[in-house]
Structure 1
Amino acid sequence: MDGRESLGGHPQEPPMPAVRSALREALTRNQMEGLVRMASLAPSTRNTQPWRFVVDADGVRLYADLTRWQRVADPDRRELYLSLGCALENLVTAAAHEGLVAHVERFPSAGDPLLVARVTFEPSHLPTAVEDDLAEAIALRHTAHEAFDRRPVPPEALAALARCAPPGGPTLVLTTDAAVRDAAERLQLEADAVLFGNPAWRRELAMLVGEGVFGTPWLFAQLGRLAMAYLDLGGVAGKRDAALIHSAPVLGVICTKEATPEAQVRAGELLERVWLRATTLGLALQPVSHAVQVPEIAARLRALLPPDAGIPQQPFRLGYLEAAERESPPRRPLEEIVR
């Protein structure tokens, strides 16, 4: 009798490490790209999708793709790292739906600053109903571009969103204070005037509009590109953006104690976690970033928040829509972002 058979003559179960190793190899062959596909549905600044993934036998590595970096609008890469954090959160959420626990190392290599995260997976559990709902929300999540209706967000929904913020991590501020919202409106108007008054900022945005990254038909994209590049639309855009903020029953801001790449990635993870949870609750969300793109205005936004909130990384508006928007922006093909 060898070690593979029990006293009863039946094969013994292989040791758990062997089971986990075999399942991990099977996952690599059959499911890794599926997880990456779900990760790639994450929101990103201006739909730039600034990520690349490497899949191997050990798991998935997430890299920043600097060819997608918006150097004028995002000189410190804050929004790039937020976007990467959203993709990382999708990856972890999709894995949980498969009964896998994801082990995440952020910025694991000092010699490779573009390597944002290394993720390995381990069979762990049957997915819970909440994990299933969050994974389903990955494909349902969308950005709200219209004004919200007048329905207030109930306290129990706000409490559910507040629980998304982990202890010791980024801070989530949710406010229904009309005075704070009105002040945020004014800051948005000022920020739009500053940004649209910058020809370099307009040209950078115009290039993306012309490439159709927002899903605009070709002709309209080209007309939009020309208008964006040569016209100062700050007054028009500012009034529209301010009206959208005014319609929001809830204003949210994700803050961090530090302005480091890792802190910003974690802020992006929290943003997507809140967004997915909001989607499961029937709520819609839109990031409103211009106020934090202008340092002086970002400082004034911070002054509106609780003293211990930290550095504003991502404001957003939250509420209900009359009819759910379901248009999805174009996505980079998998073969372009995975190797």
Structure 2
Amino acid sequence: MSNKNIPVTQPFLPELSEFIPYLEKIWNNRWLTNNGPFHQQLEAELCKYLGVEHVSLFNNATIALITALQAMRISGEVITTPYSFVATSHSIMWNGLEPVFVDVDPATFNIDPAKIEAAITPRTTAIMPVHCYSNPCDVEAIQEIADNYGLKVIYDAAHAFGVNYKGESLLKWGDLSILSFHATKVFNTFEGGAVISPDAKTKQRIDHLKNFGIEDELTVTAPGINGKMSEINAAFGLVQLKHIQQAMEQRQAVDNRYRSMLADIKGISLYQHNQYANCNYSYFPILVEPDYPLTRDELYEKLKENNILSRRYFYPLISNMPMYRGLSSSSITQLPCANALADKVLCLPIFHELISEDQNYIIRLIKES
């Protein structure tokens, strides 16, 4: 047994000495929030790095999702996936809307476009897919359905920082895309998020909504919220951005080692990346199949007993949680693939500082089961 805990992930933290000059500038100019200079700089730098034109920073991705739905004036029903973190469907509920769950593609773990059309009703106004584990959704098929039925598409792209699809930023697809900069993400600002907009007019509306709906000193034009990112978070993001490429390359090395050493274990299946997209290596999910000696939960407990903190991500399904399982779209019979994945997927530790010795230990425990 290892004497130390090996977490499922760890945030990249630069040298503290690199961050202190930014804090000194904040202390000197006393501009802590409300679109300060670091906030403006990070938006500009992210536009360049991500290959997009309009970024609106937020204090977290959940508020960004809530605001995105407001900005698009969504009403009625929103078709989404049950295989996600609860923030996806919670943002729909916070807007007084009804999430409608449809099944996922068992190969990509993303919402299955073939199931979307049958779920559309006269009350449907939007689709909220999730790029699961940074793997792109079938964006072409989803957009075709949205165009045919006059629906908005808002992507929960919490996992998709830095992902390009067919040579362009994945974040350009749909009407809006939302990123998460939570501490567990590849790129983090302690807490934070962003909305990617297609044009300046949409960004302006989002920026008003995240600041209480304030138009100017005397005018409030919408029931906005306080979703602004602070200067400290933005400053940390600027430091992080200097190291993001190196951090992702280190994670890729961990990913490659897992794939090499787990490939031939009977009963363990590996998640496959989209051939037309790069990966940011934010997660390493495996599928524990029926012919493996242990169930997924037994393997999870075995790793935990040996101080390895893997994660059953996503389990339970959103649709099986008490507040959602009463919805007609939550029926297990309608979501067979999502339910099967939720019972089989286990995310193994992956982070930039996961050393080979610890990774070998994880792999050995899986092989010995």
Question: Which bracket does the TM-score occupy, shorter chain normalised?
Answer: under 0.3
TM-score norm. by structure 1 comes to 0.27
Looking at CA atoms only, which structure, 1 or 2, has the larger radius of gyration? 1
